């Protein structure tokens, strides 16, 4: 159930509705919008009786939700969620660029990339300290030492740190050193981890699972939100198909569909989405063109020596060119949108 408050409802009236929801033993999720506040209800097993709310002061209507998700939907909040990370945003007017190496390998390697990322004007730096690798013998990441290097990057370059945690102890650590908590494709349905992320003060970048439907992905976001963390960024990173020319098949059609269903921002990862250096920039351009709020890009000063995902890493100068191109597309979209405003007829 969703309780929609009147436009002029007071904070006290919203608080009174929340109290009633909690007295019924449910959880209230007030999500204020620019036009009105709506309050999502979770924790109920069956239907909730609308008459509990309909007569309360300030309530416009109580709506039964028939969709499987309640909190990610545009029904709850009609305008896009803008995730704020300090003075940077994802989902706002500016295209968000998150760039950096797949893995933090050393201070020197990380700083070389961070310098280029800073120079490009991007606000976010990515880099894994905990790496979910297919082989147990592959480089697993530097762990807390890697996080310390990332914290130095933040200090030195003012970049916001996006980094993955693979388990609950990892979340504790990322909370100490990072700015955005990344949950990887392989953990998209690790429900314990999703719940823990839902109790984190950090925004969550939620990658789509390797074989996840859109509904499963959105329900994973719902897990995080149901615990009270509403700052979720969805990340399309490709799914496994029979294609052999790419590592994954980047499902760009997911972007307009997410937009149709959800207020959450969504970014595109053309690095994991293709796995191949020469495809990253074209798919990044396409991601922006279909309406992504941002991009997450793997970059390495020496991809041939990368300990992880070298085949998809952009060299520094390739990355610089990518940023130039995607900004041009993003600006063109804005000006086309403005140019297309209906012209009033003069006769
Ligand atoms: C990554 O971002 O380096 C990563 C491991 O991504 P994914 O979880 O999408 O495979
Ligand atoms: Mn990677």
Span 7-18, average pLDDT: 96
Q: What is the pLDDT of residue 344?
A: 63
For the entire predicted model, the pTM comes to: 0.96
**Choice from 165, 184, 248 to test ligand 1 binding pocket (greatest atom count within 8 A of CB):** 184
Q: What is the pLDDT of residue 337?
A: 78
Ligand 1 neighbour 308 (Cβ under 6 A) = no
Q: What is the pLDDT of residue 34?
A: 85
- Residue 347 pLDDT > 60: no
Ligand 1 neighbour 247 (Cβ under 6 A) = no
Collapse the DSSP code of 158 into the 3-class scheme (helix H, G, I; strand E, B; otherwise coil) and give the result.
coil
Between CA 221 and CA 230 the distance in angstroms is 9
pLDDT in tens, 105-127: 999 999 999 999 999 999 999 99
Q: How far is the CA of 285 from the centre of ligand 1 (A)?
A: 20
CA-proximal residue: ligand 1, atom 1 (nearest): 102
Q: What is the pLDDT of residue 106?
A: 98
Instruction: Look up residue 151 and give its two tokens.
Output: 């914290």
Q: What is the pLDDT of residue 176?
A: 98
Span 242-268, average pLDDT: 98
CA-proximal residue: ligand 1, atom 6 (nearest): 184
- Which residues, 6 or more positions from 47, have their beta carbon under 8 angstroms from its beta carbon? 1, 64
Span 153-177, average pLDDT: 98
Q: What is the pLDDT of residue 66?
A: 84
Q: How confident is the model at residue 46 (pLDDT cuts 50, 70, 90)?
A: confident
Ligand 1 neighbour 14 (Cβ under 6 A) = no
Q: How far is the CA of 113 from the centre of ligand 1 (A)?
A: 18
Q: What is the pLDDT of residue 162?
A: 99
pLDDT in tens, 289-320: 999 999 999 999 999 999 999 999 999 999 99
| Alpha-carbon distance values, 342 to 4, 160, 276, 339 (Å) | 32, 39, 42, 8
- Helix 107-119 and helix 144-157: axis angle, to 10°? 30
pLDDT in tens, 63-76: 998 889 999 999 99
- Percent of the residues in the chain that have a pLDDT greater than 70, as a whole number: 97
Q: What is the pLDDT of residue 57?
A: 96
- Which chain residues have CB less than 5 Å from ligand 2, an ion? 102, 309
- Residue 241 pLDDT > 90: yes
Q: What is the pLDDT of residue 45?
A: 86
Q: Nearest Cα to 280, choosing from 250, 302, 241, 239?
A: 250
CA-proximal residue: ligand 1, atom 4 (nearest): 184
**Choice from 211, 249, 269, 311 to test ligand 1 binding pocket (greatest atom count within 8 A of CB):** 269
Q: How far is the CA of 207 from the centre of ligand 1 (A)?
A: 8
- Residue 340 pLDDT > 70: no
Span 79-90, average pLDDT: 97
Ligand 1 neighbour 98 (Cβ under 6 A) = no
Between CA 219 and CA 78 the distance in angstroms is 18
| Alpha-carbon distance values, 311 to 175, 298, 315, 332 (Å) | 30, 10, 11, 31
Q: What is the pLDDT of residue 343?
A: 62
- Which has the minimum average pLDDT: 30-34, 79-83, 255-259? 30-34
Q: Closest ligand to 299 CA?
A: 2
pLDDT in tens, 173-208: 999 999 999 999 999 999 999 999 999 999 999 999
Span 139-163, average pLDDT: 98
Whole-number mean pLDDT of the chain? Answer: 96
Ligand 1 neighbour 272 (Cβ under 6 A) = yes
CA-proximal residue: ligand 1, atom 3 (nearest): 102
Instruction: Look up residue 167 and give its two tokens.
Output: 């388990």
| Alpha-carbon distance values, 36 to 12, 15, 189, 283 (Å) | 14, 14, 33, 37
């Amino acid at each position: 159930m969703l309780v929609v408050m009147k436009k002029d409802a007071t904070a006290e009236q919203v608080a009174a509705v929340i109290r009633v929801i909690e007295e019924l033993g449910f959880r209230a999720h007030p999500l204020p919008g620019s036009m009105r506040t709506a309050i999502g209800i979770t924790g109920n097993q069956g239907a909730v009786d609308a008459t509990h709310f309909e007569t309360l002061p300030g309530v416009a209507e109580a709506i039964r939700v028939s969709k499987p998700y309640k909190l990610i939907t545009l029904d709850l909040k009609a305008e896009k969620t803008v995730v704020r990370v300090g003075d940077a945003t994802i989902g706002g007017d500016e295209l968000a660029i998150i760039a950096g190496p797949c893995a933090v390998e050393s201070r020197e390697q990380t700083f070389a990339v961070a310098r280029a990322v800073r120079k490009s004007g991007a606000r976010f730096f990515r880099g894994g300290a905990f790496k979910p690798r297919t082989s147990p013998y592959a480089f697993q990441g530097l762990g807390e030492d890697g996080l310390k290097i990332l914290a130095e990057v933040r200090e030195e370059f003012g970049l916001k740190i996006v980094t993955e945690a693979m388990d609950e102890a990892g979340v504790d650590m990322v909370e100490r050193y990072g700015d955005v908590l990344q949950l990887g494709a392989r953990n998209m349905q690790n429900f314990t981890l999703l719940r823990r992320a839902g109790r984190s003060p950090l925004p969550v970048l939620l990658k789509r699972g390797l074989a996840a439907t859109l509904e499963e992905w959105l329900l994973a976001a719902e897990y995080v939100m149901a615990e009270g963390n509403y700052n979720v960024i969805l990340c399309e990173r490709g799914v496994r198909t029979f294609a052999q020319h790419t590592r994954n098949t980047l499902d760009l059609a997911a972007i307009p569909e997410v937009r149709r269903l959800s207020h959450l921002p969504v970014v595109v990862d053309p690095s994991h989405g293709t796995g191949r250096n020469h495809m990253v920039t074209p798919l990044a351009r396409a991601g922006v063109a279909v309406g992504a709020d941002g991009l997450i890009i793997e970059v390495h000063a020496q991809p041939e020596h990368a300990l992880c995902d070298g085949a998809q890493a952009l060299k520094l100068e390739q990355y610089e060119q990518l940023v130039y191109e995607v900004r041009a597309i993003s600006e063109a979209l804005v000006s086309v949108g403005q140019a297309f405003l209906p012209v009033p007829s003069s006769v």
